[in-house]
Structure 1
Amino acid sequence: MAKSIDRNLNLSGLGTASGGEYRSVNIDGVGKVEGDLSCENFRVNGVATIRGSIRAAHLEVKGKMSAEGGIHAPDIQLDGDVSVYGRMTADEIHVEGLLKLRGDCEAEQFTSRGGFTINGMLNADRIDIQLYGRCRVKEIGGENIEIKKSERSLWSKLFQWLIPVFDPHLTTGLIEGDDIQLEGTKAAIVRGSRIFIGPGCIIDRAEYRTELIVHPDAKVNHRIKG
């Protein structure tokens, strides 16, 4: 029989707690947790520092959080400024804001509406990225990959002028998938079956099996069918 965890961790205002196993973890305000966390539901509304890893069924952050270990949760919702010093694994990851990830990112569905830096690989069956800021990742792999520039408002154009991080583009070494649609992307290699390279792209080498379409406002140095 599985062990039942009855205790909850609730930090409101300014507080510090120890890691461990909980049913739910709620941080409202400014909170720090010393050690690894395991829970069903993890929620931050404010500023949180986790000195360890997080394992949860559902994880939601609204605000700012840093985690010194990795994060494993089937459902991850990030809205704000999040730094993770390990790897992140999930069924579904949704990012709004800024994500800084030191390790790999693995999911079935990865959605981004902001900017990110992933020092490792981004691997997901479905990748949907709208570029609201600068995005950088070592490599991207998936089945369906779509990277598009966002429809920017007057406010975002102002932010781009004030803060260069809001200049929307993605930089990576390799993009590999089946169906690939790109805008605003700089990559050394793009490899796939059907590839559309849209405006604002600079690609050194495009390797395709079935179809390659290149927009007039894109640059591709080498086109190879194989």
Structure 2
Amino acid sequence: MNEGLNSLNFNGVGKCKGGIFDSVNVAGTGKIEGNIKCSKFDSSGSAKVLGTTECNEFFTSGLSKVEGNILASKVEISGLLRCTGDINSIEIDTGGIINVEGNIKSDIIHGKGYLKANENIDCENINLSGILNCNGFLNCEEINISLNGISNFNEVGASRINIKKGHGDYCKKFRMLEKKPINFEKVSSNLIGLGLLSIRTYTESKLFANIIEADEISLENSEIKVVRGKNIKVGKGCYIESLEYSESIEIDEDSIVAEIKNINETVNLKKDK
């Protein structure tokens, strides 16, 4: 609690200016015009912030849109969040949908849901069951993803990456959203606008990527242009255009690798010449 600060509560429909509050609670429809600072932001309805949101805890179980940056120790989403700026946090827990037009920077990203960054993701550890899309550079120490839908990476740099086929019913997330006290027609419109209501996105479990580079790599159900690493294991359902390894390689008979290079052999050939 912050003594001397008032809390901001929306139980019906309303709007107000930004400012500094103890907590912000949206159970109806709330619009905040300007930057806000608070200890906790909690929305179970429909919230719109026209500015940067700075708080210790950011929770959304309904529909939230932040036209600015989110600066929070913890971001926890079980509904839908759209952020037009960047998210900078210590922990992101997604059980719903997070769409970020800018960058994501967080120590830990985990949960069961959908996460998209239109630019870069910088993280120590990602442990996600669902869908992860990154249009920029994904920089992470360790990545573990259980695919429940179609994920897309542009370029990845990591120490360890493990991609496997999941077995969950991700469409349950949308049936849960229908039960929330929000305008689901508006939610559906947002999902269509983000390209999230494609049946193929949720009925297939696959990763598409341009470049993956890591020391330890294990892949399933992946189509990748270039894979580079020390120890690489290519499991079932993969197609890789070019693979470069330095120590060990294992390829499942169900997968196709068009070109394979042993980096050490290439280096030795150059030295011999």
TM-score, normalized by length of structure 2?
0.76
Q: Secondary structure at the match of 1:216?
A: coil
Structure of greater Rg:
2
Q: Match for residue 209 of structure 1?
A: 246
Distance 1:164 1:6, change over 3 A: closer
The one of 183, 194, 197 equivalent to 2:220 is 183
**Is 2:44 the partner of 1:8?**
no
**Is 2:89 the partner of 1:52?**
no
Count of residues in correspondence between the two structures: 217
Q: CA deviation at 1:95?
A: 4.3
Q: When you count helix as a share of all residues, which structure comes out higher?
A: 2
Q: Match for residue 160 of structure 2?
A: 144
Contact 2:159 2:216 in 1 (8 A): yes
Gaps of 5+ in 1: 157-161
Q: CA deviation at 1:37?
A: 1.0
1:146-176 residue CA offsets vs partner (Å, 9 max, x unmatched): 00011357x89xxxxx921121110111110
Q: CA deviation at 1:25?
A: 1.1
1:176-203 residue CA offsets vs partner (Å, 9 max, x unmatched): 0011000011111110000001111000
Identity, % of aligned pairs?
29
- RMSD of aligned C-alpha atoms? 1.8
Q: Secondary structure at the match of 2:81?
A: strand
Contact 2:115 2:131 in 1 (8 A): yes
Q: When you count strand as a share of all residues, which structure comes out higher?
A: 1
Gaps of 5+ in 2: 6-19, 173-197, 264-273
- For residues 10 and 78 of structure 1, the distance between their equivalents in structure 2, rounded to whole angstroms, comes to 19
Q: Match for residue 169 of structure 1?
A: 206
Q: Match for residue 195 of structure 2?
A: none
- For residues 129 and 167 of structure 2, the distance between their equivalents in structure 1, rounded to whole angstroms, comes to 11
**Is 2:259 the partner of 1:222?**
yes
TM-score, normalized by length of structure 1?
0.91
Q: CA deviation at 1:19?
A: 2.2
Query: Deviating runs (4+, > 4 A) in structure 1?
Result: none
